[in-house]
């Protein structure tokens, strides 16, 4: 009998290509049964109150379940099929019920309290002390102290939230995949980059059609908005994207009731656990302590950014009117004329720059940066992956050998959720002399290669890749041997973006850009003159970009800082109020941004979207240490190995073994300052 690929031993690599949808349910069911028995054994009060008897024993039998479920979820996100979706959704209630059952397990909670009360606890390694303290906190936040009907209601809420979030995600993916626009008149595509037209022509051929097929995936949508001279075409795509998964489309895919349901469920969960609202509940596990602290931070940032955003928009309107006679810019005009203004002011286009950033060269350049900063190398290896596009790498450290595996999936395709993200199949763990190494997924949605040439990345794509690499390195370069303190398990949510946003900065450094670039036809690196233009434009419209992120963050906090759920009308009204406070661009009344906001409703960022800006303060200040090292040593640049080693040792390697604030202070020698973020954003005097 063929072994189920999801049931291979935890220290073996999974054969993704061999996994069938029919493998998922039997594997998950068997692993839940095994893990449930392990929980009951660990909860036996006759056990000695030791790490080995309780925590290690539990990890031994629970980790294979979470590894298999991570794989199933990953496949559901990157190669979605009806059969795979059905198998995943069949298991989702079982996994949710099991996870909730653990959180409500009074016997296991009592065991962790026994660990905390063990006289030997004070002499345990600090990391293990922290894991126990965090586990006790998480038990309380999982309702373990609830009784009777409240306890049963909490379990129902957990299952309903998991189901609603999954359905929200599916609706967005299905609405995105179903929408296409068949173009037969090539004149309507005037202005589009060649590779975008080629991809559209390939989609048409695949569908048995003449001409071109456009869709709403970012490699098609963004270039249309930036380059298509046909204003009606831009409006068509803008309207389609802006009403995705809403009442303006297919009724079965309307996320309105799911938004209402999720907000009501979250508010009720918070109430059950003794908190006034969901934001207060969520902030129990963050660096920020209260909603008022978050709101104050965001509004302070908005006050600094909004004048710059107003200036950005005024300049754009003036340019469009003077150069093109456009007197009333609509939202679908803004990206188009912004790109024309960029070309006019800085004498380059994103499409021109894109010719120099081929995916193989960029990936190689990224790995060179990681090697210089953190003394690690990436070596191609063979893994039976879920799609032919996936590239697999062994990650090697000079002092430790192979420290993990990185699986990279870069191209957009049908059945793959949009966006970019990193997740892990398994964490680093040491048991005795055996070291289990992490396996990490890095996923993006770039334009695939066209006409036999390598894929071309915009500079924004390059930044996205570097961003996600920071998350990946956070997991791969961990020296934390207990998975309960791994980066993704226990770093505060509002600090988890520090390494990712930090890595973005290197995309602007001349030595790095040289290593990243090679013209798709000539192989020449990006010319210095073109780089200088790119750098000069770094903060082009940065004010508008910043207030947009603040708008999203304030909206998120506002809808979750409520004692009860909201109707969809109230949600949209709240968004309008936030826009009146901080925005400079106002979409049409029919726009339905929340319905496609998967970060909030399907991605774990509910009451946490502010984390991007919060962590950007940390990441900008951390990067300033590299700038200071370069300034102090003219023979060096920001790829400073000594500072990189300290960043690896104090930030990446420690994961969640201590509070993020302590890790930042250990690296920087002080608390974070807002100054570097404002300087990097061009909002103060000094280096842009």
The residue among 471, 493, 499, 464 whose CA lies nearest residue 611 is 493
Strands 401-411 and 434-436: unpaired
Token reading at 507 = 């995309």
C-beta of residue 311 within 8 angstroms of C-beta of residue 540: no
Strand partners, 396: 377, 402
Strand partners, 430: 435
Q: Backbone phi, then psi, for 148, in 5-degree steps?
A: 60, -130
> Annotated catalytic sites, by residue?
468
Distance CA 320, CA 505 (A): 31
What's the mean pLDDT in 496-506? 98
Distance CA 259, CA 607 (A): 14
Percentage, residues of the chain above pLDDT 90: 97
Question: How many alpha carbons fall within 13 Å on the CB side of residue 99?
Answer: 20
What's the mean pLDDT in 277-283? 98
Distance CA 512, CA 637 (A): 10
C-alpha angle 287/293/297, rounded to 5°? Answer: 95
Could you tell me how far CA 495 lies from the centroid of its own chain? Answer: 13
Give the length of the chain.
688
What's the mean pLDDT in 267-287? 98
The residue among 421, 384, 339 whose CA lies nearest residue 599 is 421
The residue among 346, 287, 274 whose CA lies nearest residue 534 is 346
Distance CA 250, CA 246 (A): 8
C-beta of residue 383 within 8 angstroms of C-beta of residue 407: yes
Token reading at 529 = 């003159």
What's the mean pLDDT in 547-561? 98
3-state helix, strand, coil in the chain (%, to 5): 60, 10, 30
What's the mean pLDDT in 550-579? 98
C-beta of residue 458 within 8 angstroms of C-beta of residue 505: no
153-205 residue pLDDT tens: 999 999 999 999 999 999 999 999 999 999 999 999 999 999 999 999 999 99
Residues 6 or more apart in contact with residue 257 via CB below 8 angstroms: 568
610-661 residue pLDDT tens: 999 999 999 999 999 999 999 998 888 999 999 999 999 999 999 999 999 9
50-109 residue pLDDT tens: 999 999 999 999 999 999 999 999 999 999 999 999 999 999 999 999 999 999 999 999
Strand partners, 215: 180
Q: What is the DSSP letter of 358?
A: B
Coil, strand or helix at 640: coil
What's the mean pLDDT in 17-22? 97
Q: Quick check: 686 pLDDT over 90?
A: no
Distance CA 596, CA 578 (A): 18
Burial 153-173 (b: 16+ CB within 10 A, else e): ebbebbbbbbbbbbbbbbbbb
Does the pTM exceed 0.85? yes
The side-by-side arrangement of strands in the sheet containing 421-426 is: 376-381, 391-397, 401-411, 439-446, 421-426
- Within the chain, all domains assigned CATH 1.20.1050.40 are found at 5-145
Burial 131-147 (b: 16+ CB within 10 A, else e): bbebbbebbbbbbbebe
Distance CA 447, CA 498 (A): 27
120-164 residue pLDDT tens: 999 999 999 999 999 999 999 999 999 999 999 999 999 999 999
Question: How many alpha carbons fall within 13 Å on the CB side of residue 70?
Answer: 19
**Helices 57-78 & 82-103 angle (0-180, nearest 10):** 150
Show the 3-state SS of 59-108.
HHHHHHHHHHHHHHHHHHHHCCCHHHHHHHHHHHHHHHHHHHHHHCCHHH
Distance CA 549, CA 617 (A): 14
423-474 residue pLDDT tens: 999 999 998 899 999 999 999 999 999 989 999 999 999 999 999 999 999 9
Distance CA 538, CA 513 (A): 14
How confident is the model at residue 1, as a pLDDT?
A: 44
Q: Is the domain covering 5-145 a CATH 3.20.20.370 domain? A: no
């Amino acid at each position: 009998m063929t072994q189920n690929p999801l049931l291979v031993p935890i220290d073996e690599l999974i054969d993704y290509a061999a996994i069938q949808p029919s493998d998922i349910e039997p594997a998950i069911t068997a692993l839940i049964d095994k893990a449930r028995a392990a929980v009951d054994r660990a909860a036996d009060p006759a056990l000695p109150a030791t790490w080995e008897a309780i925590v290690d024993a539990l990890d031994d039998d629970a980790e294979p379940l979470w590894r298999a479920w991570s794989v199933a979820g990953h496949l559901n996100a990157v190669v979605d099929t009806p059969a795979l979706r059905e198998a995943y959704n069949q298991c989702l209630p079982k996994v949710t019920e099991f996870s909730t059952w653990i959180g409500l397990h009074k016997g296991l909670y009592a065991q962790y309290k026994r660990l905390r009360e063990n006289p030997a606890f004070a002499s345990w390694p600090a990391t293990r002390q922290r894991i126990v303290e965090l586990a006790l906190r998480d038990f309380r936040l999982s309702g373990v102290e609830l009784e009777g009907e409240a306890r049963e209601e909490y379990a129902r809420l957990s299952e309903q939230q998991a189901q609603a979030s999954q359905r929200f995600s599916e609706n967005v993916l299905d609405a995105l995949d179903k929408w296409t626009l068949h173009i037969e008149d090539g004149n309507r595509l005037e202005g589009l980059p060649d590779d975008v037209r080629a991809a559209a022509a390939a989609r048409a051929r695949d569908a048995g059609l003449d001409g071109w097929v456009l869709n709403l995936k970012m490699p098609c949508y963004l270039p249309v908005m930036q380059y298509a001279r046909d204003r009606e075409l831009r409006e068509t795509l803008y309207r389609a994207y802006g009403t995705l998964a809403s009442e303006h489309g297919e009724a079965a895919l309307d996320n309105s009731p799911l938004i209402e349901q999720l907000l009501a469920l979250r508010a009720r969960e918070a109430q059950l656990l003794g908190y006034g609202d969901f934001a207060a509940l969520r902030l129990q596990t963050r660096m920020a302590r209260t909603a008022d602290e978050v709101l104050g931070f965001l509004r302070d940032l908005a006050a600094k950014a909004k004048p710059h955003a107003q200036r950005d928009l005024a300049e754009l309107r003036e340019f469009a009117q003077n150069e093109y006679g456009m007197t009333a810019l609509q939202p679908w005009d803004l990206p188009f004329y912004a790109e024309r203004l960029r070309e006019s002011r800085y004498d380059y286009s994103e499409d021109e720059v894109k010719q120099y950033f081929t995916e193989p060269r960029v990936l190689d350049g990224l790995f060179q940066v990681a090697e210089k900063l953190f003394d690690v190398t990436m070596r191609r290896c063979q893994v039976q992956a879920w799609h032919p596009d996936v590239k697999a790498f062994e990650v090697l450290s000079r002092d430790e050998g192979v420290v993990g595996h990185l699986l990279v999936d870069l191209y957009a395709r049908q059945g793959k959720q949009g966006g970019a993200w990193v997740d892990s199949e398994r964490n680093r763990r040491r048991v005795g002399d055996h070291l289990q190494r992490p396996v990490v997924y890095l996923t993006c949605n770039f334009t695939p290669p066209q006409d036999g040439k390598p894929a071309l990345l915009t500079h924004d794509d390059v930044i996205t890749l570097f961003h996600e690499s920071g998350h990946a390195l956070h997991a791969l370069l961990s020296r934390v041997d207990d998975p309960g303190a791994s980066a993704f398990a226990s770093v505060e949510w509002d600090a988890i973006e520090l390494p990712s946003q930090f890595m973005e900065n290197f995309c602007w450094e001349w030595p790095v850009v040289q290593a990243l670039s090679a013209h798709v036809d000539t192989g020449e690196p990006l010319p210095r003159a073109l780089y200088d233009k790119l750098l000069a434009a770094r903060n082009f419209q940065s004010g508008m970009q910043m207030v947009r992120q603040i708008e999203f963050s304030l909206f998120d906090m506002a809808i979750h800082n409520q004692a009860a759920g909201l109707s969809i009308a109230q949600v949209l009204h709240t968004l309008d109020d936030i826009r009146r406070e901080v925005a400079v661009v106002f979409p049409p009344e029919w726009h339905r941004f929340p319905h496609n906001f998967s970060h909030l409703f399907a991605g774990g960022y509910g009451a946490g979207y502010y984390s991007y800006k919060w962590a950007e303060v940390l990441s900008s200040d951390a990067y300033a240490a590299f700038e200071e090292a370069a300034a102090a040593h003219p023979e060096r640049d920001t790829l400073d190995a000594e500072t990189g080693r300290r960043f690896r040792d104090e930030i990446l390697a420690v994961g969640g073994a201590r509070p993020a604030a302590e890790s930042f202070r250990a690296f920087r020698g002080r608390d974070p300052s807002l100054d570097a973020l404002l300087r990097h954003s061009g909002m103060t005097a000094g280096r842009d």
